[in-house]
A = this chain, B = another copy of it.
Amino acid sequence: MAERFQSDLLRGSLDLMVLSVVAGEPQYGYLIQKNISEASGDKVKLPAGTLYPLLHRLETSRLIRSKWDKSTGRRRKWYEITAKGRKRLANQADQWHQYARCVSQLLDSFVTTPLVKATS
C-alpha cells in the first residue's frame, strides 16, 4: 500500500499533472484519476473533491474544453486540451523543472550535515 504524498506537495503541480494527462489524449475525470494514480505508483490519488473542482477551474480558464457523452447509462464528461492549454502546459512544465532543480540544489547545499548512518 503506497503511502500518499502530503497534500501541500501537490499544490502547484496538480494542474500540471492533469493538463499533461489530458494532453496525451482526451479523457474524462474518472479516467484521469486512474491514470494519475497508476502513473504515480499509487502515490498520487486525487479524491473527487479535489479532481472535479480542479477540472472546472481549468475549463473556466479555457485550458481544457468539455463535452458530455450521454450515449451510455453512465454519463461522462470528456475533456480535451486547448491550444492555450498546451502553451500553459509547456510553460508550467518548464517552471516546474526549474523549481525542482532549484530546491534540489538548495537541499544539497545545506543538508550536507551527515547524520549518523541511518539504521540500515
Contact = CB atoms under 8 A, between A and B. Distances in A.
Interface of A: 5-13, 16-17, 20-21, 23-24, 36, 39-41, 43-44, 86, 89-90, 93, 95-100, 102-107, 109-111, 113, 115, 118
A5 B90 contact: no
A25 to B, nearest CB: 9
B115 A9 contact: no
Contacts of A93: 107, 111
A20 B95 contact: no
A106 B36 contact: yes
Given A107-B96, A110-B24, A10 B9 contact: no
Given A11-B11, A11-B12, A23-B113, A17 B106 contact: yes
23 contacts: A6-B12, A6-B95, A7-B12, A9-B12, A16-B103, A17-B103, A17-B107, A20-B106, A21-B110, A36-B106, A39-B105, A39-B106, A39-B109, A43-B98, A43-B99, A43-B102, A44-B102, A86-B115, A89-B111, A90-B111, A90-B118, A93-B111, A100-B104
